[in-house]
Amino acid sequence: MIPSEELDAKLREFLSEDIGGTDITTDSTVPLAALARGELVAKSPCVVSGLPIAQRTFELLEPRLSFEAAAAAGELVEARTVLAHLAGRARAILTAERVALNLLQRMCGIATATRRFVEAVEGTNASIYDTRKTAPGLRAFDRAAVADGGGANHRNTLSEMVLIKDNHRRLAGGVAGAVAAARRGVPPGVLIEVEVEAEAELLEAVAAGVDIVLIDNQSPGTVARWARIAREIRPSLSIEASGGMVLTGVRAYAEAGANRISVGALTHSVQAADISLELSLDG
């Protein structure tokens, strides 16, 4: 999902931020010619995501790195599972370790959380979506992790689709005015989604012919009633539910008729997976 040149630029920036001038601990304690081999080990159960990112992080400091993945993206692994084997110059591996692990742990954590939400709505017509609630600079990594966890990606940037929210509605003079202005201002074929927080706004959005209605911060009962009203008018209308989604309650929204459920917590409240790099001298 990340072009190679863009990925390298980001990883170099992350490495520069972490290293500063030099890794004085590694350079002063590890012999220059020392070689090491080791394993990336999952210390907690997780869904795998980000191994190629970790590999590339190490390779930027150790171009001759030997790296063999032992688990596939999207695979659920148990604690103490070896995710990858690697070998190369010890100093380079140690210096890249923290950045590689930070990204790998975050991506596996996101993929694991996503899988739990996906499993919670299994058997319904609902898909779990991410949001733009990502840390600046990490969105591409976060979106890849959501996909590895079985989720779907919402819009990546503001340029991809129209999503009219509460402030847009107020500043544009209401749902109908905002939708009309959007239709005048964007090319044909661009999706238009409108967030609604009242039944009158729902009816206005449906009448305006939007592609997706986003029902925000409502109970499952309200979502069910509004979805029924909207689909009596337009049976194929896509209904998205959002707002403080938690694992224990998400299935109720799926059963209420939402076919898209966006979960900001997938990326804004990441619980990193526990993964370690275990090294030993090689030869």
Q: Which helix (H) or strand (E) holds 51?
A: helix 51-61
Q: What is the pLDDT of residue 239?
A: 98
Q: Which CATH architecture has domain 123-268?
A: Alpha-Beta Barrel (3.20)
CATH class of the domain comprising 4-118+270-281: alpha beta
Identify the active-site residue in 8, 119, 216, 274.
216
Give the pLDDT mean for 33-56: 97
How do residues 125-137 score in pLDDT, each as one tens digit? 999 999 999 999 9
Identify the active-site residue in 195, 201, 204, 240.
195
**pLDDT higher than threshold 80 for residue 219:** yes
Q: Has 133 been annotated as catalytic?
A: yes
- Residues facing 212 on adjacent strands: 193, 238
Q: What is the pLDDT of residue 2?
A: 82
How do residues 55-107 score in pLDDT, each as one tens digit? 999 999 999 999 999 999 999 999 999 999 999 999 999 999 999 999 999 99
Q: Has 10 been annotated as catalytic?
A: no
Identify the active-site residue in 116, 133, 183, 231.
133
Report the b/e string of 101-129 with b at 16+ CB within 10 A. Answer: bbbbbbbbbbbbbbbebbebbeebebbbb
Q: What is the largest CA-CA distance in the chain?
A: 73
Q: Has 216 been annotated as catalytic?
A: yes
Instruction: Find, among 119, 122, 116, 114, the residue nearest to 255 by Cα.
Output: 122
Q: Has 195 been annotated as catalytic?
A: yes
Identify the active-site residue in 132, 165, 183, 225.
165
Q: Assess whether the region 4-118+270-281 and the region 123-268 belong to the same CATH fold.
A: no
**Cα–Cα distance measured from residue 67 to residue 86, given in angstroms and rounded to the nearest whole number:** 4
Radius of gyration for the chain, computed over Cα atoms and rounded to the nearest angstrom: 23
Q: What is the pLDDT of residue 254?
A: 98
Please state the pTM of the whole predicted model.
0.95
How do residues 143-175 score in pLDDT, each as one tens digit? 999 999 999 999 999 999 999 999 999 999 999
Q: Which helix (H) or strand (E) holds 277?
A: strand 275-281
Would you place residue 44 in the very low, low, confident or very high pLDDT band (cuts 50, 70, 90)?
A: very high
CB atoms within 10 A of CB 217: 11
Q: What is the pLDDT of residue 3?
A: 87
Which pairs count as long-range contacts for 193-202, CB under 8 Å and 24+ apart, including other chains? 193/161, 193/162, 193/163, 193/164, 193/240, 194/163, 194/164, 194/169, 195/163, 195/164, 195/165, 195/166, 195/169, 195/242, 196/226, 197/166, 199/226, 199/229, 201/169, 201/175, 202/226, 202/229, 202/230
3-state secondary structure (DSSP) of residue 242: strand
> What is residue 45's DSSP assignment?
-
φ, ψ of residue 193 to 5 degrees: the values are -120, 140
Map out the domains of the chain as residue ranges: 4-118+270-281, 123-268
Identify the active-site residue in 12, 37, 98, 116.
98
Portion of the chain with pLDDT greater than 90, in percent: 97
